[in-house]
Amino acid sequence: MLLEVNDITVADEARALQARYGNLEPMDVIELSVDHLFNEEIAVVSSFGADSAVMLHMIAQVDRATPVLFLETGKHFPATLRYRDQLIAELGMTDVHDIHPLKQSLKDEDPFGALSMTNKDRCCYIRKVEPMARAVAPYRAWMTGRKQFQASTRTALPVFESVGARIRINPLAHWTSADLKAYMAEHDLPPHPLVAEGYRSIGCMPCTLPVKDGEDDRAGRWAGSDKTECGIHLTGLTDELSNISLTDSSL
């Protein structure tokens, strides 16, 4: 269904949703979003990272057929890919999509797979931002696992926010590290194997390091550079989505 509203209207909608539902518990946010607000026009984007099991478990309790979008950058730790397969099987998720970079983009701009060493922003654009835009384009809304405590750049993160003509939902925005650990223990969820090695935020292998005590959870991402986000949560995604129709379902 084509969303016949402009970006200003969607921004107003996101603010209204935040004001009314922004203080709900994560499970209630997920159930409301999946079963009532967006029905079959919502997906979840998961990195199958350090604490991804928490939100995926919640979603599985609501609807195991909720589309799960995984950005298969071609640069993940092998442990992440094994963990992805493990969670999918254990949680019974039935609609998981691996979203790949465009082959032509890799051929033209990263033929040797070393672009992350010379231009991290462009590497993230090719392997994450553009694929992410294609992945979420068919939906009116998508959910992420972002939390306020993860980094200083996320301290004001709302539960509901607008991204161009779409709504992005962060059900776990207000949860702490202790909340996540308690939930995983209560439901006996398997941890990502790299957490035991000091990785608290897990992205692509070339740009992810273990985190030291006292550092932000995301301090190991693009360590030694000024980069703090890959771009899928920044304005570049909005710009990319503006060129893609909401009805384009090509993944």
Binding residues for [4Fe-4S] cluster: 123-124, 204, 207
Binding residues: 123-124, 204, 207
120-127: Cβ within 8 A, 24+ apart: 120/207, 120/222, 120/225, 120/227, 121/227, 121/231, 124/230, 124/231, 125/231, 125/236, 126/101, 126/102, 127/71, 127/73, 127/74, 127/75, 127/101, 127/204
Look up residue 201 and give its two tokens: 């935020």
∠ at Cα 222 (78, 166), nearest 5°? Answer: 85
Specify whether 113 is catalytic.
no
Compute the radius of gyration of the chain from its Cα atoms: 17
DSSP E strands: which ranges in 60-219? Answer: 68-71, 96-99, 141-143, 160-163, 166-169
Taking 3-state DSSP, the helix, strand and coil percentages for the chain, each rounded to the nearest 5, stand at: 45, 10, 45
Active-site residue, selected from the candidate residues 30, 135, 230, 237 = 230
Phi then psi for residue 184, to 5 deg, are -65, -40
Return d(Cα 104, Cα 110) in angstroms, integer: 10
In single-letter form, the type of residue at position 98 comes to D
Q: Please, which residues have CB within 8 angstroms of residue 249's CB and are 6 or more apart in sequence? A: 137, 138
Q: Which residues are catalytic?
A: 230
